[in-house]
Amino acid sequence: MVRVLILVLICCSISGRAQTIAGKWKTIDDETGKPKSIVEIVEKNGKFYGTITRLFRGPDEEQDPVCNECPTNDDRYKKKIIGMEILRNLVRDNAEYAGGTIIDPNNGKIYRCKVWLEGNTLKLRGYLGPFFRTQTWLPER
């Protein structure tokens, strides 16, 4: 009986961890379907943050770009995109993570966002006013 209880507790703790967005995710461009970057999402003090750890760039593109398009009053302005915190202040609310923002380093726009898991994929929806765009991110392997 004790072995069964231990097995149940182990399974519950594993499944509980599987339900978090923390980890490394391959971002996919929703227009081209091609991988754009790897974002590592971490939890700090009950909030979730995502940092770009790698970019997938063509040979004709700048390999280590800076965010020239970021707002001049933002701490990410003129900073390198690799290492940039693009997701900020997401808070878990049941099955979703919301209340935070995401910046698009390509155009410097900051969007309200929410994130949720669908199977083994992560869905990220960015909002600008009543308009939104959704991307599917894949687990990085």
**CATH number assigned to the domain comprising residue 124:** 2.40.128.520
**pLDDT, tens digit, 9 for 90 and up, residues 86-100:** 999 999 999 999 999
Predicted local confidence at residue 19, as pLDDT: 82
Q: Whole domain around residue 90: which residue ranges?
A: 21-139
Predicted structure pTM score: 0.85
Closest CA to 128 of 93, 107, 120: 107
User: Can you list the alpha helix ranges (DSSP code H) found in the chain?
Assistant: 2-18
In a domain, 34, yes or no: yes
In the chain, the largest separation of any two C-alpha atoms, in whole Å, equals 63
The verdict on residue 130 lying in a domain is yes
Evaluate whether residue 10 is within a structural domain.
no
Q: What mean pLDDT do residues 70-86 have?
A: 98
State the total domains in the chain. Answer: 1
